[in-house]
Chains A and B, each alone.
Chain A
Amino acid sequence: METQIALILTILIPLFGAVLIAAAGSQPNLREAVTIGTSVLLFLQVLFLLEQSDGQAVAVLATPFPGLPLSLSTEPLGLLFATVASGLWIITSIYSIGYMRGNNEQHQTRFYVFFAISIAAAMGVALSANVFTLFVFYEVLTLSTYPLVTHKGTDEARQGGRVYLGILLATSFSFFLVALVWTWNAAGHLDFTAGGILKGKIDPAFLPLLVALYLFGIGKAALMPFHRWLPAAMVAPTPVSALLHAVAVVKAGVFSVLKITVYVFGIDFLRETGANRWMMWVAAATVILASLVALTKDNLKARLAYSTVSQLSYIVLGAMLVNSVAVVGAGMHIATHALGKITLFFCAGAIYVATHKTEISDMDGLGRSMPITYAAMLIGCLSIIGLPLTGGFWSKWYLMLGAASAEQWAMLAVFLISTLLNVAYLMVIPIRGFLFPPRSTPATSNAIREAPFPSVAALAVTAVGCIVVFFYAQPLYRLLTEMSTG
């Protein structure tokens, strides 16, 4: 019973926080105190759930349709995602205080309110006990992040918002919803069940189509050709980009993919029928193509965006390799990539606040005036690339191990090639920052300082986190094997 209440509270805390934030709108200090307080409370709540996780508890919120409840459950993969998202929310909140104040942004209350709502939605996605609940919170997440993307209110922001909303709603309605109803029609229920619910219920000939509907339908996983929303959403303020890319949105996407692969299709069922083949290649193509596009981008945030597209497809690819090792790798990649990417976005934001520079070619030599930021960025890059001593190493390791044990040598090659590409497009940034001579005149470069303290603190914390994960990967691994073996 206690766990049930705790489950419902994970949704309610951020929602209640949103109300308080709105109420405290006129006093910025109080408002931001509430934001941070709520985020800490939420994190503790999720940790409490993590402690409880012996045996799955289910809490029903409502039953909109007969036999189709809106319910939450404590399930390892979901808890992992919830922990990552709620933990990073604390840091993002701290960071955004620095960023928003530093930039004197408009409508800050609206920003914090929708931020809290989207975290509530992300919690819902993470803890959903069936596909229907997942879908519902997925849509709430889309809608609640829209005002964040268009935050600036300029024509450019509105345009980006349209693309964002358009692609996400279009894919989720046209593909995801159809796949959902189809599954319901075939299996008779939508509950996430270890080993999948579709086995023997559906004609294997149609299975690849259903897989494709789910994978393309979950537009937040940014599989090509439905990745355009991610770069378009770059118009958002940096904390939002961090939220979108690392914490809530894209992770909710790949998390959904992973969850559906494991609990709806079932790894064994997919492997037996071979329905994963097509989408495996699509994911592999996205990995490579997005990395190539990233190489050509000079805008830092755009480059990071395409890097995200590529990295997300690692996870989809891991899911589509359909064996337990690869799925564990994919699950770990959710966490490690989240840490790595959020660090990089924080750095990009810090650079913008301090220098108002957005193009990589303009950032030569900044490492000297912003050493902490650039050190963090170096760690972030290494983690994304997957070098030892950073968390990224483990996830990539397991992913490649999975590819090998599935005897998909081509996929192994894809991982290796993309790692090289990662090096090419990411390492340039810290290298230019540290080793290249500053472009601008010494006078102005002296004026450049580190970004406001909250921002720097936040990015330092996440960078340290990248390293910590390398040494404490054990709990993560245990949690995930529990899931993949059922």
Chain B
Amino acid sequence: MEHHIVLRVVAKSFIPVILLFALYVQFHGDYGPGGGFQAGVIFGSGIILYALIFGLQTTKKVLPQSIIHHMTGIGVLLYAGIGVLSLIRGGNFLDYSVLGATPAAGQHIGIMLIELGVGVTVAFVMVSLFYSFAGYRQKDLDDPAAEDDDEQDSIEKSDQQ
């Protein structure tokens, strides 16, 4: 990839914008169009683009496999944790109204955190998928971690709707 100078330069300038846009979509998801899914996918694709241009090894220095594993788990835990938290605060599962001082504030906080959990999970699952498929030749054998992480995000979707 050393000689693809155009690609490298363009990508370098684009990737921060992509990541920033992901954050925009993430944090405007509560009142406008957007949300954790879209944000997560955009964030993930920013990193995947980086990996495509600069190689898997370089990317793994930036984002080691172990971080990705933990982040996917933490994302789901954040999501389900909010549900349990609302239980503890005396509401039903995922009843955000009890999280803040007023129901409206509670809803705001709740949806924000939930979407964050979703966004984190989706982003890192996408990257983890890319890692395991792209790294397949080098390691010659799988890291089947990718397979099951995927299901986790399908769960979140389930409770999302």
Direct contact between A and B in the complex (CB less than 8 angstroms)?
no
Residues on B lying within 8 angstroms of A by beta carbon are none
Residues of A within 8 A of B (CB): none
